[in-house]
């Protein structure tokens, strides 16, 4: 019963914050323009500061799990490679193939994962979750661009991909945090206090905005694609790689980060990227909505099972 309540108390705040964002959108308190604006603010200010503070305040005796980093990098690459071979055999519409590969390989790690780790381990050092951005964000972006270029109308330019990764605010925030940590530098008290205040806003606002961004379009025409993509993203992929993580000895924060790297819902940004690169934008939006909705149930089940087995 304690494990059940632990899982419930972890997932319910996520559900309530996302539901509140969705409800405010439905009754008109949030408009599409406002959601996009706040989303940009979270992405470009609050989350980068949150990551910077988290990494900067990492205790110097923190044990960094090399296995977790390697599993995330190599596992995501393997996940993508399998999808690149599998999806063209199941789907013949090229505009849908790239969108499906992206949706099934790219997770909403920063917006969904970092808040989840903080809720799973209150008061504990969860800086590993922030450091994992160094691995997950570049891999997600590279995989997505390659898939949409090969199966869309975009042109694959390695230099542009690398430049976009280096300009990513989440990467920049993490890099500054790591630089401050390496130099053992602490900003002046008034700057540090401001950064801490901004950091506290990131988690609830990211989840609230994610809920506001969810829209359920008519999914009848894409039933086949949804039935393939959603179970893979939320069940098959995380189950495989969490099992591998357990075999490698990952536990607690490291194992939770592994689950999130593979089991987080599809990134909201995959929708505009699909549109801009000639993919099926309507399918991309439905995949974001479906994985964001069903991830509450799958996250509850994974957290409950891992907690019951003493893995987290």
Looking at residue 230, what is its pLDDT? 96
pLDDT tens string, the chain, 312 residues long: the values are: 676 777 777 778 877 888 898 899 889 888 888 888 887 888 788 888 988 887 788 777 666 788 999 999 999 999 999 999 999 999 989 889 999 999 999 998 877 888 888 888 887 878 888 888 888 888 888 888 888 888 876 566 777 767 777 777 877 888 898 899 889 888 999 999 999 999 888 878 877 887 887 766 556 678 899 999 999 999 999 999 999 999 999 999 999 999 999 999 998 778 777 877 778 888 887 898 889 889 889 999 999 999 999 998
Looking at residue 153, what is its pLDDT? 64
Looking at residue 99, what is its pLDDT? 93
Domains of the chain: residue spans and CATH: 2-212+247-308 (1.20.1530)
Residue that the structure tokens 């920049």 belong to:
172
* DSSP assigned state of 30: S
Angle, to 10 degrees, between the axis of helix 47-56 and the axis of helix 169-183? 20
Looking at residue 312, what is its pLDDT? 87
Q: How far, in Å, are 26, 209, 231, 295 from residue 18 at the CA level?
A: 12, 7, 21, 11
Looking at residue 63, what is its pLDDT? 66
HEC assignment per residue over 98-136: HHHHHHHHCECHHHHHHHHHHHHCCCCCCHHHHHCHHHH
Looking at residue 205, what is its pLDDT? 85
Q: How far, in Å, are 118, 151, 252, 274 from residue 88 at the CA level?
A: 38, 10, 37, 17
Kindly write down the DSSP assignment for every residue of 185-211, as one continuous string: ----HHHHHHHHHHHHHHHHHHHHHHH
């Amino acid at each position: 019963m304690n494990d059940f309540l632990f899982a419930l108390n972890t997932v319910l705040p996520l559900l309530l914050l996302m539901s509140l964002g969705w409800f405010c959108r439905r009754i008109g308190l949030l408009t599409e323009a406002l959601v996009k604006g706040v989303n940009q603010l979270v992405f470009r200010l609050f989350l980068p500061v949150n990551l910077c503070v988290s990494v900067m305040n990492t205790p110097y005796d923190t044990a960094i799990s090399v296995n977790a980093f390697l599993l995330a990098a190599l596992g995501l690459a393997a996940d993508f490679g399998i999808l690149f071979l599998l999806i063209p055999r199941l789907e013949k519409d090229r505009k849908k193939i790239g969108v499906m590969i992206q949706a099934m390989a790219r997770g909403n790690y920063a917006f969904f994962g970092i808040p989840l780790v903080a809720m799973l381990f209150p008061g504990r050092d969860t800086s590993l979750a922030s450091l994992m951005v160094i691995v997950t964000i570049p891999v997600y972006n590279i995989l997505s661009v390659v898939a949409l270029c090969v199966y869309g109308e975009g042109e694959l330019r390695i230099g542009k991909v690398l430049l976009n990764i280096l300009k990513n605010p989440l990467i920049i925030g993490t890099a500054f945090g790591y630089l401050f940590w390496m130099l053992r530098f602490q900003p002046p008290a008034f700057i540090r206090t401001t950064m801490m205040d901004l950091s506290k806003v990131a988690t609830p606002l990211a989840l609230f905005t994610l809920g506001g961004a969810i829209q359920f379009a008519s999914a009848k025409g894409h039933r086949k694609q949804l039935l393939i993509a959603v179970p893979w993203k939320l069940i098959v992929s995380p189950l495989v790689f969490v099992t591998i993580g357990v075999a490698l000895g990952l536990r607690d924060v490291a194992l939770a980060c592994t689950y999130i790297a593979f089991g987080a819902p599809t990134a909201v940004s995959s929708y505009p990227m699909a549109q801009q690169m000639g993919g099926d934008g309507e399918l991309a939006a439905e995949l974001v909505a479906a994985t964001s909705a069903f991830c509450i149930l799958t996250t509850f089940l994974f957290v409950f099972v891992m907690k019951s087995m003493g893995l987290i």
